[in-house]
Chains A and B, each alone.
Chain A
């Protein structure tokens, strides 16, 4: 095909593209995926019994703030990685800040506890099932997030996949907080983060295949 003919053909197929079109689709996908995860948590895992009173206290919201912040950073990273010529420094710094704040808080809490309470605080009641459940919930949301993210044009598909994994897992984990009654920062920092990290790694692998263009 001659290049001029190609240009004619492309110009003939030119639906208007609004500003932030890709992001808007991604947000819609997050809403849809989030609703499905919420359904999964509600019907399959069940909401925590003390959800009502927990929502009155700060711990529930601090947990949600940590995972929610990871989600925001994941969205930001994915958005930057998905636009040719964009820089990712700012979201990377933000990711570092979120992790450092969470880690710092957990360490402070850990050492301010009596020695005998420390290990039980880290292990909680559900250490073993936490990360796998987060992964399963992430799997429910993943098709929505990764599908919408295909509209981007990442220079580094692997990195973009990791960012999409972070976003997906952070969404799933935030909703998992409606089920999980664990309340110590050290538990959240270790086991929540572990589940999210595995999802990030899996996302990187998926992205390498799915985000080629």
Chain B
């Protein structure tokens, strides 16, 4: 999320100076985030969502001078996307069905679909010791291989495997329903 912010902000600053290549990159990147964001929030997905993506990109282009350089870029872009979405729904006489609270909705990595799930996960993972938690996050959420994650956090491969196994086991013991306990053994 903060990485995205830094990256997009840099592109935005170059775009404001008239750098067409950076601007192309920024708009494409935003488009890729906007497409699923709108699709999930519209009943008739496809065509309307693409229209909204285009409308939002045009607005971001036309109103780029209203971004304050001291303000987070993602918050600004998200506010525009939300504005366009609400406008669209209002024209159709509908109200948004999904809560639209956070810029992170738009810029979330899509490995975990839902913000609520993400919040739950963070809370649950917080129960683990920090070093163990980071390992789990790398392997189970970010999709690194065990070997890569082990190297990142100074584990040997075997130690990492054991640590992950233990973490999953302790979380399972805590949260899985009694009947499934043990059946869902992780390796």
Contacts and interface: CB of A to CB of B under 8 A. Distances in A.
Interface of A: 1, 3-4, 6-8, 10-12, 14-17, 19, 21-22, 82-86, 151-153, 155, 213
A68 B48 CA distance: 47
Contacts of A84: 63, 66-67, 76, 79-80, 83
A213 B63 contact: yes
Interface centre among B21, B50, B76 (most CB of A within 10 A): B76
B44 interface: no
10 contacts: A6-B58, A15-B18, A16-B18, A22-B66, A82-B66, A86-B71, A152-B63, A153-B59, A153-B63, A155-B83
Given A1-B54, A84-B80, A85-B78, A10 B61 contact: yes
Interface size band for B? 35 or more
Given A6-B57, A153-B59, A12 B28 contact: no
Interface in B43-58: 50, 53-54, 57-58
Given A7-B27, A213-B63, 10 more contacts: A6-B58, A7-B24, A11-B23, A11-B24, A84-B83, A151-B65, A151-B66, A152-B66, A213-B59, A213-B62
Contacts, number: 79
B79 A155 contact: yes
A33 B28 CA distance: 41
Nearest to B61: A10
Given A85-B75, A85-B79, A11 B65 contact: no
Nearest to A5: B54
B123 interface: no
A28 to B, nearest CB: 14
B50 A83 contact: no
A85 B67 CA distance: 9
A17 B78 CA distance: 20
A109 B54 CA distance: 58
A19 B69 contact: yes
B68 A86 contact: yes
A151 B63 CA distance: 7
A8 B24 contact: yes
Main SS at interface, chain A: loop
B9 to A, nearest CB: 13
B36 interface: no
Nearest to A82: B66
A12 B50 CA distance: 21
Nearest to A8: B24
A16 B83 CA distance: 25
A14 B68 contact: no
A11 B20 contact: yes
Contact of B65 (A1, A22, A86): A22
B65 A10 contact: no
A186 B168 CA distance: 73
Given A14-B15, A83-B76, A85-B78, A153 B66 contact: yes
Nearest to A16: B18
A70 to B, nearest CB: 23
A12 B76 CA distance: 23
Given A6-B57, A155-B83, A83 B23 contact: no
Contacts of A17: 16, 64-65
